[in-house]
Amino acid sequence: MTTRIESPPHLSDETPTPNVAGGDTAPAIPTRRRRKRSLAVPALIAPTAILLAIVIGYPVISAIVMSFRGDPTIDTAIGRFVGQGWVGLANYKHWILQQCTDASGQTVSCPEGTLGSLFWVSVFVTLFFAVVTVTLEVGLGLWFANIMHRTMRGRALIRTSVLVAWAIPTAVSAKLWAYIFAYDGIANRLLGTHILWTSEVWPSRFAVVIADVWKTTPFVALLILAGLQMIPRETYEAARVDGASRWQQFRYITLPLIKPAIVVAVLFRALDALRMYDLPAIMTGGGDGSTTTLSILVVDQMRQGFNSASALSTITFGLVFLIAWLLVKTLSINVVATQNAQRKGA
């Protein structure tokens, strides 16, 4: 009597896979369905990626390519503009090394007050505005958020009044502060001074800082308020039962739990401050270098040559990208470390 050994059935897409933990079998995801899912992800991302490539990628690449070309110059022999073609890193050297060229193309030292010598001044002004305004806005925003978070009569009116400044367009608020800081404006009358707030170097910088802090502190307060509202009230009640003071509650409960909101506020405001243009441009007109940010310098240079302005805009883009990357790495590590410490303590 012959025994026929049957071959194992063909493993189809629906073949169950053994469950090692429980000993039974669990149905596997069909290969065809898994393939459809893997194709659906790039299909959904593709329209957004293509749009970003057109709107952002193409202008950035075009600006980088233009930055390696020289600006057209007037050829006296034929009486018209002639392109200089590929000049390599000459435009970048002009800005970073403050190099200028004469009519013959030879490198000479830049005269005082020219755009070449204004580059590092504008870098300092941009970083000064970013550091000072973001620091003040986060501190005041944290204070305003705590006030708006309290349960009291008229809380809705307080929140509305705080957010009014942020709702006003920047051009309107800049013109408003320009009137306030005029020579015969409200600021000099209240202080009894005769300061040229929009002409002198440091007064004009402080005027821009005050206007920017007044304008955007409500935005930071709104972000921090959203973080405060996520903290359960039972946490504070338990801390009060344990005898924690208000300062201890703020230090060990409030600050650690709203750190993600503060990180978002710092990132948003830092990126906005690094590309600040409209507020100092309207209030002081750039201030002949005292309030000239990198964005103002790029716009001024565009009136003289697009290719050198492209090099300057590329440098500005690199600077903003580097600072944003450092902030993301540093602040994200701090938030993750705090959350890990809280989990270990729990």
Confidence tier at 132 by pLDDT (50, 70, 90): very high
Residue at 24: amino acid letter: D
Give the separation between CA 188 and CA 168, rounded to whole angstroms. 24
Confidence of residue 13 (pLDDT cuts 50, 70, 90): very low
Mean predicted confidence (pLDDT) in 27-31 = 61
Band (pLDDT 50/70/90 cuts) for residue 30 is low
pLDDT score recorded for residue 340: 58
**What is residue 74's predicted lDDT score, i.e. its pLDDT?**
60
In the predicted structure, residue 174 carries a pLDDT above the cut 70: yes
Q: Residue 146 and residue 143: Cα distance in Å, rounded?
A: 5
Q: What is the pLDDT of residue 11?
A: 45
- The torsion angles phi and psi of 99, rounded to 5 degrees, stand at -95, 140
pLDDT score of 207: 93
Decide if pLDDT at 103 tops 50.
no
Q: What are phi and psi of 70, to 5 degrees?
A: -85, 155
Q: How far is CA 282 from CA 205, 210, 241, 270, 333, in A?
A: 13, 14, 54, 20, 38
Strand partners, 100: 108
Q: Which of 30-44, 122-136, 156-170 has the lowest mean pLDDT?
A: 30-44
Q: Please, what is the angle between helix 155-167 and helix 115-149, to 10°?
A: 170
- Name the residue type at position 207: A
- 191, two tokens: 């202080």
**pLDDT tens digit string along 280-305?**
999 988 766 788 899 998 888 888 87
Per-position b or e across 237-274, b if 16+ CB within 10 A of its CB: eebeeeebeeeeeeeebbeebbbbbbbbbbbebbbebb
Q: Residue 137: is its pLDDT beyond 90?
A: yes
The residues near 97 (Cβ < 8 Å, ≥ 6 apart) are: none
Q: Residue 310: which of 113, 90, 140 has the closest Cα?
A: 90
Cα end-to-end distance, the chain, whole Å = 71
Q: Which residue has the tokens 């309207």?
A: 282
Amino acid in position 187: A
Sequence ranges of the domains in the chain:
40-109, 119-345
In tens, the pLDDT along 215-263 reads 999 999 999 998 998 888 888 889 889 888 888 988 888 888 998 899 9
> Taking the CB of residue 221, how many other CB atoms lie within 10 A of it?
28
In this model, does residue 158 exceed pLDDT 90? no
Q: Which of 166, 343, 333 is nearest to 260 (CA)?
A: 333
According to CATH, the topology of domain 119-345 is MetI-like fold (1.10.3720)
Q: What is the mean pLDDT of residues 67-91?
A: 71
Of 38-42, 136-140, 245-249, 314-318, which one has max mean pLDDT?
136-140
Amino acid at 327: L
**In the chain, which ranges are E strands?**
17-18, 25-26, 73-75, 80-82, 99-101, 107-109
Cβ neighbours for 301, distance < 8 A, ≥ 6 positions apart: 115, 308, 309, 312
Question: CB within 8 A of 249, min separation 6: which ones?
Answer: 236, 239, 240
How confident is residue 20, by pLDDT bands cut at 50, 70 and 90?
very low
For residue 89, the model assigns a pLDDT of: 85
pLDDT band at 92 (very low <50, low <70, confident <90, very high): confident
Instruction: Identify the weakest region by mean pLDDT among 33-42, 275-284, 331-340.
Output: 331-340
- Three-state secondary-structure class, residue 169: coil
pLDDT level of residue 14 (50, 70, 90 thresholds): very low
Q: Kindly give, in sequence order, each residue whose CB lies less than 8 Å from that of residue 120, ignoring residues fewer than 6 positions away.
A: 98
Other Cβ atoms closer than 10 A to 28: 13
pLDDT computed for residue 206 by the predictor: 93
For residues 265 and 225, is the Cβ–Cβ distance under 8 A? no
Q: Is the pLDDT of residue 39 over 80?
A: no
